Amino acid sequence: MTLQPTSGPQQNQSNGAVCPDLLDWEWLHAGQPVYIVLITVLGAVLNVFVLLVFWLHKKACTVAEVYLSNLAAADLVLVSCLPFWAVNISNGFNWPFGLFMCKVVNLGIKMNTYCTINFLVLISMDRYVALVHTLSHGRMRRTKYAKLGCLLMWSFGFLLSVPTIVFRDVEYFPEYGVTACFLEYPNLAAALFFDVMLIVFSFIVPISIISFCTVKIIQALKVQVIGRFNAERTEQKATHLMLAVLLAFLICWVPFHAVTILDVLSRADILRGCALESVLEICNQIFTYLAMFNSVLNPIVYVIVGKNFRKKVFEIFKEWNMKKTVTSESLRSSNLSSTLKTLA
């Protein structure tokens, strides 16, 4: 997220020239806090629900569910950070939480960017092994390996997010009259380098791996005899869920990465023009919040597409109802016994 003034002209730099602000930001600033609060509430409730289902169910999580639970955890990290930005925007981009929270909040947001796509890589690779290399998948697909893979992805996401900790700062801007939490790289070369790193490790490389796995998975689904074995039907259900989650990711994140690529080309003077810079600025804001919506969309996809997930939910509620019935009957029996003793 970048600092934008709440009023007055914005001066953009284009090839050494000063560009006036060609767009009115007031409508966007007014709607952002409401949208962020909505995303926060829905994302927190839905992702906590997903994690509780995986945690409370009596059966141990499968490999795919280990990855999905970590994906839900990454989404929960993001929505936990968003309320701070809602307050920031409501205050006219005046950051009231200090330097430490400036770094921590943006670390959580950046880690979600890296971890979400890389958990999808793990899910795609798992489906690829399960459907394409069916004879060897028993040895390769174990939950302990899945948990280790998730730990490595969290560590990788943190490592790639270190520049956020180093270069985030809080400073007073007299021209805007605000104390802002902002990202300031030492020079343009460093800014371009870290933006290219974001594009490569959170989009190009993961999407290339996912695309390869997806093509092989679809080919495998076409040649399989549907319904031949219960195990195959289970794998196909998990695969359909993976494809739905991947589609949701692409819808929410591809526009963000496309704008990031255009922004890098613009700042490198490959693409030029004040109008382009202004359009990229507002598109960056809009598509950033579209990407955040992915944290709400994922749990909805689990419920709509994930038959095994819905089955777990029904089994948990059924178990709760049985416990309530047993508890109620025990209390009734206890009260009846007490009444009979009193009468005797």
Cα 322–chain centre separation = 35
More confident residue, 4 or 175: 175
* CATH assignment at residue 258: 1.20.1070.10
Q: Is the pLDDT of residue 124 over 80?
A: yes
Instruction: Indicate the burial class of 216 (C-beta count within 10 angstroms; 0-12, 13-18, 19 or more).
Output: middle
Vertex 113: Cα angle to 112 and 119 (nearest 5): 70
Q: Within a domain: residue 172? A: yes
pLDDT band at 224 (very low <50, low <70, confident <90, very high): low
Domain span at residue 188 reads: 24-319
Q: Within a domain: residue 13? A: no
Query: Tokens 């007055």 map to which residue?
Result: 8
What values do phi and psi take at 180, rounded to 5?
Answer: -105, 145
HSE toward the beta carbon, residue 151, CA cutoff 13 A: 6
Q: What is the DSSP letter of 134?
A: T
pLDDT at 131: 80
pLDDT at 120: 92
Per-residue pLDDT of 229-275, as tens digits, reads: 555 566 677 778 888 889 999 999 999 999 999 989 988 888 877 77
Q: How far apart are CA 98 and CA 96, in angstroms?
A: 6
- The token duo for 99 is 């330097």
pLDDT at 339: 60
Q: Is the pLDDT of residue 315 over 90?
A: no
> DSSP for 118-132?
HHHHHHHHHHHHHHH
Q: Within a domain: residue 11? A: no
Strands 168-173 and 178-183, sheet pairing: antiparallel
Q: Within a domain: residue 2? A: no
Q: Within a domain: residue 10? A: no
Mean pLDDT over residues 10-16, rounded?
A: 46
More confident residue, 201 or 343: 201
Domain count of the fold of the chain: 1
Per-residue pLDDT of 54-66, as tens digits, reads: 888 878 888 888 9
pLDDT at 1: 40
Q: Within a domain: residue 74? A: yes
Q: Within a domain: residue 327? A: no
The separation between the first and the last C-alpha atoms of the chain, rounded to the nearest angstrom, is: 75
pLDDT band at 11 (very low <50, low <70, confident <90, very high): very low
pLDDT at 104: 95
Q: Within a domain: residue 115? A: yes
Q: Three-state DSSP class for 204?
A: helix
